[in-house]
Amino acid sequence: MNPVKGWAQGLIVLALAAGGVVHAAEDGAGGATTETLLSASGEPLQELDEILVHGKRLRDRIVEAENEFYKLYNQINKDNDYDMNCTLLNLSADTGSRLNQRVCLPVFAAEAIAEYTVFRAQCQPPMDGFDEFSCLDRNRDERLSRQEAAVRPSLDAQFMTLDADLNGYLTRDELPPEGTGGAQGYIPPPPELVIAERSKRWYDHMMAVIRSDPRLQEMAGRLDELHMEMTLTQRRVAEIEADRLANAPVRRPRVRPPR
């Protein structure tokens, strides 16, 4: 595969992950092997500490290369919808995770994510099959705090009246049976659908812009090489950790002699 095309397609996969707020797909390395992972002096990297340091430096190089590439790309690109910006997003399916990952997105995708995020924050049912109470009960403790109820102005205004036992929370029984959502307004499409629908146009547009300038072609090819090297680094770390786990001594439980 053309390295520029491979890198651009990998970018779209990561953007789809960002739109769906799921684990980012692993970037393929075209069958490359970890034996090609070398230090700056040309020596194979073997020790885990060395490889981790190498990976950190490589990540910094990728960020720097991406920033330079997108700066030039945005200057040449004439369609604002396809301008590219990089940010940190939490792509973990675990809602308690605070691990952020750098993602570069076109403007149309970032706007779709922002619009849908606001919609979700307002919790307009039906959301994910939840009823009104479950939609508002963000921490899943089967009661609504004043803060959770505040996204519904009508419910917020009635909160003290509905709180029959005056404990500062509303139970399911205390929520009005008619609900508080009012008429359903505009529902923005999930961002992963927006990105999927426009992915071919985005890819074609990006490739056209890259092909229009030799500098972008060279920079995109270099980015592909850096990302492949990062994949090799991650694989090598996984191999070493797997070997350590396989060779770790097995602790046997002590058996007390019968009395």
Q: Where are the domains of the chain?
A: 3-111+195-245, 125-170
What pLDDT, on the 0 to 100 scale, is given for residue 67? 94
Query: What is the rounded distance in angstroms from the CA atom of residue 144 to the CA atom of residue 169?
Result: 5
Distances (CA, A) of 129 to 104, 123, 132, 215: 31, 12, 10, 49
Residue 198: pLDDT band (50, 70, 90) is very high
Q: What is the pTM of this model?
A: 0.64
What pLDDT, in 10s, does the model give residues 129-176?
Answer: 556 777 777 777 888 888 888 877 888 888 888 888 889 998 888 887
Evaluate if residue 50 carries a pLDDT over 50.
yes
The pLDDT, as a whole number, for residue 10 is: 57
**Bridge-based pairing state of the strands 101-106 and 84-89:** antiparallel
Residues 167 and 164: their CA atoms lie apart, in Å, by 8
Q: What 3-state class would DSSP assign to 57?
A: helix
- Examine the pLDDT at 61 and tell me if it is beyond 90: yes
Band of the pLDDT at 92, cuts 50, 70, 90? low
Q: How far apart are CA 185 and CA 70, in angstroms?
A: 37
Task: Identify whether the C-beta of residue 15 lies closer than 8 Å to the C-beta of residue 91.
Answer: no
**222-254: pLDDT as tens digits:** 988 998 999 999 898 888 888 888 877 777 667
pLDDT at residue 20 in the model = 43
Asked if 11 contacts 193 with a C-beta cutoff of 8 angstroms, the reply is: no
Cis ω for the linkage preceding 44 (within 30 of 0): no
The residue type at 74: N
